[in-house]
Amino acid sequence: DTAVSQTPKYLVTQMGNDKSIKCEQNLGHDTMYWYKQDSKKFLKIMFSYNNKELIINETVPNRFSPKSPDKAHLNLHINSLELGDSAVYFCASRPGGAIGGTQYFGPGTRLTVL
């Protein structure tokens, strides 16, 4: 029943580790996104994929690598985690088309780097 799901919901890890966050949507949407929400609640776009093709790649350290195995999934892999990576990461999806479509968000993954 869940439209956009993310796993895990919470992730606590040590500095220097590599971790992945998974996102799946069952809405049939063509475009998926990753956003980062910092400790001040500010949300910023990181990446976007349209039909498995990367279309947005903001100024994000290359330790962050998105991967879209199919249009229903967009995973985020983070290498060599740093303290500053601690944040809530949201996945979102929207229908295709040049203009239009509301973005629906997953529940978020709270990443804490110790």
Partner 1 sequence: AQKITQTQPGMFVQEKEAVTLDCTYDTSDQSYGLFWYKQPSSGEMIFLIYQGSYDEQNATEGRYSLNFQKARKSANLVISASQLGDSAMYFCAMREPYGNNRLAFGKGNQVVVIP
| Site residues (vs partner 1, CB under 8 A) | 31, 33, 35, 40-45, 48, 50, 55-56, 88, 90, 92, 94, 98-108, 110
Closer to partner 1 by Cβ: residue 14 or 98? 98
Is the CB of residue 101 less than 8 Å from the CB of residue 39? no
Tell the smallest beta-carbon distance from residue 104 to partner 1 (Å): 6
Tell the smallest beta-carbon distance from residue 45 to partner 1 (Å): 5
Sequence-distant (6+) residues with CB within 8 A of 85 are 78, 111, 113
Exposed, middle or buried, 62 (CB in 10 Å: 0-12/13-18/19+)? exposed
Tell the smallest beta-carbon distance from residue 93 to partner 1 (Å): 11
